[in-house]
């Protein structure tokens, strides 16, 4: 294969309308702001990646665009796009934080590499282990009656995993939602809870115990990301498994939480770790310590979902499913030519070259609010 070089890096900030307001322990989401990166090469191969920030969690679209435009472009332009690890290492050295920008760059590089070698991103990162991954839908509408209708529709589509976003309303409301769902569906649904850091340590143990009669598969991030000792205390005190999301961005955080025994499960997200390869490191640390992993995501379009799906596909011990539902069930309109592949409640990991999904350039144009070439 002849040497190829990066000739152009374009960043676009998009604002995409969503179907319903999502409420979380850390705030409401009514429009999805995301950053799409396009990397062109002199071989005529183009790769796409996405940085999906959430300002209260990871970072901002503007900050990530600046990381790429100002700091990454000088070493990306003219570089060999196949040298993924070298370029990631440079990016990590150049800008602290902005992990989503690195995820976007890595995704675009792997997309190019896969297209050049006619293999999928899954093939590039260890090979497909699952093919299909059960989909979890996040129930986060403050209007629970609307959520019940949505759940009924999704159950018809084959979805069986539902994750409640909690911590934004009264505890009694959370208990009521669980009670209602178990009453309507019995044990046929796999129910989980995500507090998004919404509780204070002193109240969290009792509240989780109140939910235990409804058998949640796990409780996610009950307290602040930085309250790691409290996470450990909660993990010891309750029967229900505890998952760390905001507390574990990268392998360093994973090691800290492992030493504290601060969680039973890690939520893997390419936006937190700074890409697929770094998320694989988190998964490997978890595996070594008996901590399970789950396929998490941020507010993403089908491009980032595809990158995440390849990551989860590469981890044989991923057993708790994934939450790549935004493109199909949350956005008014995604930016792929074909719908992100979800069938019978499962994500069907694309097998085509690179990411295996094709961005719709007209739709990208339609939702772009600023562009940097
Ligand atoms: Mg979470």
Position 207 scores a pLDDT of 97
CA of 186 to the centre of ligand 1 (A): 25
Tokens 């990381």 locate to: 67
Position 331 scores a pLDDT of 94
Residues in Cβ contact with 288 at an 8 Å cutoff, skipping those fewer than 6 apart? none
CA of 88 to the centre of ligand 1 (A): 25
Backbone angles phi, psi at 307, to 5 degrees: -60, -45
CA of 181 to the centre of ligand 1 (A): 21
Position 225 scores a pLDDT of 96
C-alpha torsion sign, points 254, 260, 265, 271: negative
CA of 70 to the centre of ligand 1 (A): 30
Task: Please tell me the distance from the alpha carbon of residue 229 to that of residue 244, in angstroms, as a whole number.
Answer: 12
According to CATH, what is the number of the domain 6-118+360-372? 3.30.390.10
User: 3-state SS of the chain: helix, strand, coil percent to 5?
Assistant: 40, 25, 35
Backbone angles phi, psi at 262, to 5 degrees: -90, -5
CA of 196 to the centre of ligand 1 (A): 5
Task: Please tell me the distance from the alpha carbon of residue 220 to that of residue 232, in angstroms, as a whole number.
Answer: 13
CA of 283 to the centre of ligand 1 (A): 16
CA of 194 to the centre of ligand 1 (A): 6
| Prediction pTM value | 0.96
CA of 80 to the centre of ligand 1 (A): 35
Task: Please tell me the distance from the alpha carbon of residue 267 to that of residue 272, in angstroms, as a whole number.
Answer: 10
CA of 323 to the centre of ligand 1 (A): 10
Domain with CATH 3.20.20.120 in the chain: 123-348
Position 56 scores a pLDDT of 80
Q: Crossing angle, helix 84-94 and helix 276-289, to 10 degrees? A: 90
Task: Please tell me the distance from the alpha carbon of residue 71 to that of residue 81, in angstroms, as a whole number.
Answer: 17
User: Are the C-beta atoms of 255 and 285 separated by less than 8 Å?
Assistant: yes
Which residue stretches of the chain have pLDDT < 50? none
CA of 373 to the centre of ligand 1 (A): 33
User: Are the C-beta atoms of 53 and 63 separated by less than 8 Å?
Assistant: yes
Residues in Cβ contact with 309 at an 8 Å cutoff, skipping those fewer than 6 apart? 133, 295, 322, 324, 347, 349, 350
Tell me the fold of 123-348: TIM Barrel (3.20.20)
Position 141 scores a pLDDT of 79
Q: Residue 303's closest CA among 34, 116, 45? A: 34
Position 27 scores a pLDDT of 66
């Amino acid at each position: 294969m002849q040497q190829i070089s990066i000739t152009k890096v374009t960043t676009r900030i998009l604002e995409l309308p969503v179907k319903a307001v999502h409420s979380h322990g850390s705030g409401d989401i009514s429009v999805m702001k995301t950053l799409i990166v396009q990397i062109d090469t002199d071989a005529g191969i183009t790769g796409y990646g996405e940085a999906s920030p959430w300002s209260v969690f990871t970072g901002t679209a503007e900050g990530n665009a600046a990381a790429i435009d100002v700091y990454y472009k000088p070493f990306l332009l003219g570089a060999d796009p196949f040298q993924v690890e070298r370029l990631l290492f440079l990016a990590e050295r150049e800008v602290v934080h902005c992990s989503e920008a690195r995820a976007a760059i890595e995704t675009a590089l792997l997309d190019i590499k896969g297209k050049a070698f006619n293999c999928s991103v899954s093939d590039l990162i260890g090979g497909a282990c699952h093919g299909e991954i059960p989909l979890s839908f996040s129930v986060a509408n403050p209007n629970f009656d609307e959520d019940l209708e949505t759940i009924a529709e999704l159950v018809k589509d084959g979805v069986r995993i539902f994750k409640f976003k909690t911590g934004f309303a009264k505890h009694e409301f959370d208990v009521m939602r669980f009670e209602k769902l178990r009453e309507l569906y019995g044990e046929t649904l796999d129910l989980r809870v995500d507090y998004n850091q919404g509780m204070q340590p002193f109240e969290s143990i009792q509240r989780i115990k109140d939910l235990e009669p409804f058998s949640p598969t796990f409780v996610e991030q009950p307290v602040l990301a930085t309250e790691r000792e409290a996470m450990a205390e909660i993990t010891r005190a309750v029967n229900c498994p505890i998952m760390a999301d905001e507390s574990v961005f990268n392998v360093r955080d994973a090691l800290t939480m492992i030493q504290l025994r601060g969680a039973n499960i890690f939520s893997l997200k390419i936006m937190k770790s700074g890409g697929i390869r770094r998320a694989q490191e988190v998964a490997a640390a978890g595996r070594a310590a008996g901590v399970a992993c789950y396929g998490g995501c941020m507010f993403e379009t089908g491009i980032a979902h595809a990158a995440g799906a390849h990551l989860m596909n590469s981890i044989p011990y991923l057993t708790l499913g994934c939450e790549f539902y935004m493109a199909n069930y949350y956005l008014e309109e995604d930016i792929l030519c074909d719908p992100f592949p979800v069938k019978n409640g499962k994500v069907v990991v694309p097998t085509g070259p690179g990411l295996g999904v094709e961005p719709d350039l007209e739709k990208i144009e339609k939702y772009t609010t600023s562009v940097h070439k």
